[in-house]
Amino acid sequence: MKSLIFNRLQQKNTLICDMALKIIDYNSEQYHQMVALRTEVLRKPLGMTYNPSDLEKEKDDILIGAFEDDRILGCCILTRLDEKTCKLRQMAVHPSMQRNGLGASIMNFAENVARDTGYTKMVLNARKTASAFYEKLGYQVSTGEFIEVNLPHLGMVKSIF
């Protein structure tokens, strides 16, 4: 674990949870929790699982998780594309926590981590069903519609310097 920020998630003065946003290590216990969450949120609903050779490639990525105590609530991954550009992938929030502001907090943390690493541009492939979430956070559609994991997607981009 290389970075840590505590965040109090509140909606209309009601405490949702106290959580820690962290960069986590590949193959750690926290990483295995992350893969389990991604499987539940991003793969099982599509009748899919992760290919071990795809997970192996994540050893060079920046792996981000939001935790309440030791339980993961949400995650994303940053992958280097070039010196100035990184790709945000595998954005997922536990179903019981969606629409409470957690996804926006993770994105904000991920953008700060990317900026600190020297990136000035974030790109992502958004499921069409989630593109309005990213638009609210300042991302703009940069491609036509295409299919990934059997779902319609849109390429999106944001300057983060």
* Site of interaction with ligand COA (CB under 6 A): 41-42, 91-93, 98-104, 126-127, 129-130, 132-133, 136
**19 vs 79: CA distance, rounded Å:** 24
As measured in angstroms, the least distance from the Cβ of 70 to ligand COA is 20
| Angle at the Cα of 41 from the Cα atoms of 37 and 125, rounded to 5 degrees | 110
Q: Which residue is nearest to ligand COA (CB)?
A: 103
CA angle 100, 39, 112 (to 5 degrees): 50
Residue with Cβ nearer ligand COA (27 or 43): 43
CB of 154 to ligand COA, least distance (A): 9
CB of 46 to ligand COA, least distance (A): 11
Which CB atom, from 27 or from 158, has the smaller least distance to ligand COA? 158
Name the residue nearer to ligand COA (CB basis): 118 or 149.
149
Least distance between ligand COA and beta carbon 127 (Å): 4
Find the Cα–Cα–Cα–Cα dihedral 12, 20, 18, 35, rounded to 10°.
90
**Exposed (0-12), middle (13-18) or buried (19+): which is 146, by Cβ within 10 Å?**
exposed
Nearer to ligand COA, 55 or 104 (CB): 104
